[in-house]
């Protein structure tokens, strides 16, 4: 039926071996390269879990983790601290007299046994006039039951503030923080919606810089209530990471090019001038804020003193209230604390070590009793070898041939696809019957 035959195209003969336009028709192989890593031929060692390997491992872990956890607990337990939540201070009536702070707003730990139950603390709200207008100031008076040896740190703490939100974390311009005078067109788009204001560039731009914590605490934060010269002086130097101090640089913008972020207007009511542009290379408080926290409750270092002992007595801390926390349902506190070789007061790490070490010890005791009372018999590998020497007959089938293993030797017998039975050979007939059953 030649009329059904495909008509040959004259251009077919012009095709190259590789196909149209010289493009190869051979598909690229998806087979992984023949390497030890890609073909999973790397040498490996797998421990067989037997009582001789598991029991020593469990007891070694228990011996290491439990004492280490106890040491961590003991070290962190010696850390002394005082935490006062002053979020509700702005709801007080403006007054010249102090009122007692409810105990639910106070957290503390001191080595003095008489201070384990409660701490005397009170507050008052005052209204003071400054260059920027009227400012509410929270005055907190508290007692220290014993001396605190340096280093001593003063933190501020926020709760329910999600610095780890993706849109928040990336809302800044790195080159701007490095001191470059970035133009509006080159400014990172992630700074939106705080990129420009009144046709001027916001410096520093973005949500992170705009929301910096701005409750004002003086470096001479702790004032003695006795009125003498025993005020405790803090410093705000060397409170940021050394890598951050190298990253942040003084800007090369001029005052006519930039404006402050919206939430900075109280500090810069008339905008920037040539004399008041912030030098973020020296502002370590700002640098700490720009290092965003991983959790919604966090502390950031504001001041420290690494040389002087904070004597016991009554002190007053004055905090100018600027930072609202009710809008995001959070709280703000100050934390006065000492330190240890493993950091601040956090018992979680020591507890975790003790719990894991205790579980290892419990499993060790349980497995040991199980092994002593009712041990499990381990398989004997010699039973898997030399099965040809068994006296019983073992039959192994192939595609067209099977083998009879007997004590006298190995006999090979061929079979046909029709499976005819050989009646003259009882042994072969029995084998064929068994093969049919299979």
Domain boundary among 276, 304, 339: 339
Q: Are residues 327 and 423 in the same domain?
A: no
Output the six-digit token pair for 177. 């923080």
Q: Are residues 168 and 300 in the same domain?
A: yes
Rounded mean pLDDT of the chain?
A: 81
d(CA 88, CA 83) in angstroms, rounded, equals: 14
What are the tens digits of pLDDT across the range 352-365?
Answer: 999 999 999 999 99
Cis before residue 204, ω within 30 degrees of 0?
Answer: yes
H-helix or E-strand containing 154?
A: strand 152-158
Q: Are residues 175 and 314 in the same domain?
A: yes
Question: In which residue are the tokens 């009144």 written?
Answer: 198
Query: Is 331 part of a structural domain of the chain?
Result: yes
d(CA 51, CA 183) in angstroms, rounded, equals: 69
How far lies 88's CA from each of 5, 105, 269, in Å?
Answer: 94, 9, 27
Cis before residue 119, ω within 30 degrees of 0?
Answer: no
Question: Do the Cβ atoms of 303 and 221 come closer than 8 Å?
Answer: yes
What are the tens digits of pLDDT across the range 308-341?
Answer: 999 888 899 999 999 999 999 999 999 999 998 8
Q: Are residues 410 and 271 in the same domain?
A: no
Query: Is 65 part of a structural domain of the chain?
Result: no
Question: Do the Cβ atoms of 163 and 135 come closer than 8 Å?
Answer: no
Query: Is 33 part of a structural domain of the chain?
Result: no
What are the tens digits of pLDDT across the range 5-63?
Answer: 444 544 444 444 444 445 455 567 788 889 989 888 898 888 788 888 899 999 999 99
What are the tens digits of pLDDT across the range 225-241?
Answer: 665 557 888 999 999 99
Domain boundary among 312, 339, 366: 339
- 423/303: higher pLDDT: 303
Nearest to 147, CA basis, from 347, 346, 338, 343: 338
Angle at 192 between CA 190 and CA 196, to 5 degrees: 125
Query: Is 64 part of a structural domain of the chain?
Result: no
Residue 437: pLDDT band with limits 50, 70, 90: very low
Per mean pLDDT, which of 127-141, 157-171, 210-224, 376-390 is the most reliable? 157-171
Q: Collapsing DSSP states into helix, strand and coil, what is residue 342? A: coil
Average pLDDT estimate for 99-110: 92
H-helix or E-strand containing 291?
A: none
Output the six-digit token pair for 193. 């919606």
Q: Are residues 310 and 430 in the same domain?
A: no
DSSP bridge partners of 317: 140, 222
Q: Which bin fits 120, alpha (ψ -120 to 50), beta or left (φ > 0)? A: beta
Domain boundary among 305, 323, 339: 339
Output the six-digit token pair for 324. 């609202």
Question: Do the Cβ atoms of 397 and 432 come closer than 8 Å?
Answer: no
Query: Is 413 part of a structural domain of the chain?
Result: yes
How far lies 381's CA from each of 267, 371, 378, in Å?
Answer: 81, 21, 9
H-helix or E-strand containing 156?
A: strand 152-158
Q: Are residues 334 and 210 in the same domain?
A: yes
Query: Is 207 part of a structural domain of the chain?
Result: yes
Residue 152: pLDDT band with limits 50, 70, 90: very high
Query: Is 352 part of a structural domain of the chain?
Result: no
pTM over 0.75: no
Residue 138: pLDDT band with limits 50, 70, 90: very high
DSSP bridge partners of 397: 402
Q: Are residues 286 and 430 in the same domain?
A: no
Q: Are residues 170 and 253 in the same domain?
A: yes
H-helix or E-strand containing 142?
A: strand 133-144
Query: Is 149 part of a structural domain of the chain?
Result: yes
Q: Is 389 exposed, middle or buried (0-12, 13-18, 19+ CB in 10 A)?
A: exposed
d(CA 181, CA 183) in angstroms, rounded, equals: 6
Q: At what angle do helices 348-373 and 51-77 cross, to 10 degrees?
A: 150
d(CA 92, CA 126) in angstroms, rounded, equals: 9
Q: Are residues 276 and 392 in the same domain?
A: no
Please count the structural domains in the chain: 2
Residue 416: pLDDT band with limits 50, 70, 90: very low
Q: How many other C-beta atoms lie within 10 A of the C-beta of residue 169?
A: 16
**Helices and strands in the chain, H and E counts:** 8, 16
Q: Are residues 237 and 140 in the same domain?
A: yes
Nearest to 284, CA basis, from 246, 324, 338, 323: 246
d(CA 169, CA 177) in angstroms, rounded, equals: 15
d(CA 319, CA 217) in angstroms, rounded, equals: 5
Q: Are residues 262 and 405 in the same domain?
A: no
d(CA 394, CA 388) in angstroms, rounded, equals: 8
Give residues with Cβ within 8 angstroms of 148, minimum separation 6: 80, 309, 310, 336, 338
Q: Are residues 326 and 394 in the same domain?
A: no
DSSP bridge partners of 315: 142, 224
What are the tens digits of pLDDT across the range 66-85?
Answer: 999 999 999 998 999 999 99
Segments of 207-312 assigned E as strands: 216-224, 258-259, 298-305
Domain range for 421 is 388-437
């Amino acid at each position: 039926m030649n009329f059904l035959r495909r008509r040959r195209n004259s251009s077919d003969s012009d095709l190259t071996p590789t196909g149209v336009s010289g493009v190869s028709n051979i598909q690229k192989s998806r087979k992984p390269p023949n390497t030890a890593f890609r073909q999973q031929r790397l040498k490996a060692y797998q421990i067989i879990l037997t009582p001789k390997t598991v029991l020593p491992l469990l007891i070694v872990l228990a011996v290491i983790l439990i004492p280490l956890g106890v040491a961590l607990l003991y070290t962190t337990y010696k850390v002394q601290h005082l935490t006062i939540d002053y979020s509700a201070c702005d709801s007080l009536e403006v007054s010249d007299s102090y009122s007692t702070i409810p105990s639910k707003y106070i957290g503390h730990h001191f080595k003095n046994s008489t201070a384990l139950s409660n701490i005397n603390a009170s507050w008052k709200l005052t209204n003071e006039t400054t260059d920027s207008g009227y400012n509410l100031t929270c005055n907190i008076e508290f007692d220290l039951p014993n001396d605190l040896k340096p280093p001593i740190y003063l933190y501020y703490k926020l709760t329910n503030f999600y610095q780890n939100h993706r849109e928040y974390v990336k809302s800044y311009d790195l080159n701007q923080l490095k001191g470059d005078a970035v133009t509006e067109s080159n400014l990172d788009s992630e700074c939106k919606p705080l990129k420009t204001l009144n046709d001027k560039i916001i410096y520093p731009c973005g949500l992170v810089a705009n929301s910096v914590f701005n409750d004002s605490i003086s470096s001479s934060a702790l004032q003695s209530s006795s009125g003498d010269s025993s005020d405790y002086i803090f410093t705000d130097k060397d409170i940021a990471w050394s890598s951050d101090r190298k990253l942040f640089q003084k800007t090369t913008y001029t005052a006519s090019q930039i404006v402050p972020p919206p939430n900075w207007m109280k500090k810069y009511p008339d905008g920037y001038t040539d004399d008041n542009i912030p030098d973020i290379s020296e502002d370590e408080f700002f640098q700490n804020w720009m290092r965003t926290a991983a959790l919604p409750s966090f502390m950031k270092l504001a001041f420290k003193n690494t040389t002087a002992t904070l004597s016991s007595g009554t002190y007053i801390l004055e905090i100018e209230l600027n930072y609202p926390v009710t809008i995001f349902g959070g709280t703000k506190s100050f934390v006065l604390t000492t330190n240890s070789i493993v950091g601040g007061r956090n018992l979680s790490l020591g507890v975790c070590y003790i719990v894991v070490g205790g579980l290892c010890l419990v499993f060790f005791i349980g497995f040991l009793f199980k092994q002593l009372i009712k041990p499990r018999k381990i398989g004997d590998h010699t039973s898997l070898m030399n099965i040809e020497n068994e006296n019983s007959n073992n039959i192994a089938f192939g595609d067209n041939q099977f083998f009879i293993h007997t004590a006298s030797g190995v006999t090979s017998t061929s079979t046909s696809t029709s499976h005819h039975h050989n009646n003259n050979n009882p042994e072969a007939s029995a084998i064929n019957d068994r093969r049919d059953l299979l």
